[in-house]
């Protein structure tokens, strides 16, 4: 949804192959309505996600990043979602220390059977980013 000045949020979704990507696919198959403001990158496991990739996304102009993986206890790689959750917690702390609103980074857990939940999560993330407005990093680069 574009704002009054024509701004549309750029949101990166980094999702695990086994659960969240399948949940997003189910949402599409079920024709669940959610905003199209998210671009998805699929990883085999969120445990493989280096926090520097998220920082790079913000530096390259992302207004928000959503990381979504398997529910705790359901990771196909046993503990990848635990590792990722710890990293996201620490990264949010770093973002706060840098003066960046940590609400621009969200981690969720969506299983393959939760297409409706995926649509709700994306809608909520898009609303949050719309409320926050464009990334402050964009303003610095102008």
| Range of the structural domain that residue 65 is part of | 11-135
pLDDT band at 138 (very low <50, low <70, confident <90, very high): low
- Asked if the structure places residue 33 within a domain, the reply is yes
* Alpha-carbon gap, residue 68 to 54, rounded angstroms: 13
Record the pTM: 0.93
Signed CA dihedral, 52, 118, 124, 11: sign only: positive
CATH number at residue 20: 3.40.50
pLDDT at 140: 59
pLDDT band at 141 (very low <50, low <70, confident <90, very high): low
Q: What is the mean pLDDT of residues 110-132?
A: 97
Please tell me the total count of domains within the chain: 1
Encode pLDDT of 20-70 as tens digits.
999 999 999 999 999 999 999 999 999 999 999 999 999 999 999 999 999
Q: What is the mean pLDDT of residues 132-136?
A: 93
- Asked if the structure places residue 131 within a domain, the reply is yes
- Asked if the structure places residue 101 within a domain, the reply is yes
3-state SS class at 127:
helix
Does position 142 have pLDDT exceeding 80, yes or no?
A: no
- Is the distance from CB of 107 to CB of 82 less than 8 angstroms? no
Strands 38-43 and 64-69: unpaired
**Phi, psi dihedrals of residue 69, rounded to the nearest 5°:** -135, -170
- Asked if the structure places residue 50 within a domain, the reply is yes
């Amino acid at each position: 949804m574009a704002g009054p000045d024509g701004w549309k949020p750029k949101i990166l979704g980094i999702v695990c192959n086994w659960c969240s990507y399948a949940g997003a696919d189910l949402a599409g198959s079920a024709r669940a309505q959610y905003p199209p403001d998210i671009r998805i990158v699929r990883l085999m496991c969120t445990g493989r996600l280096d926090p520097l990739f998220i920082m790079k996304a913000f530096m390259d102009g992302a207004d928000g990043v959503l990381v979504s993986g398997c529910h705790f206890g359901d990771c196909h790689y046993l503990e990848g979602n635990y590792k990722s959750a710890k990293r996201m917690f620490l990264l949010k702390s770093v973002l706060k220390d840098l003066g960046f609103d940590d609400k621009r980074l969200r981690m969720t857990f969506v299983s393959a059977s939760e297409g409706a939940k995926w649509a709700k999560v994306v809608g909520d993330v898009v609303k949050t980013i719309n409320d926050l407005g464009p990334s402050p990093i964009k303003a610095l680069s102008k």
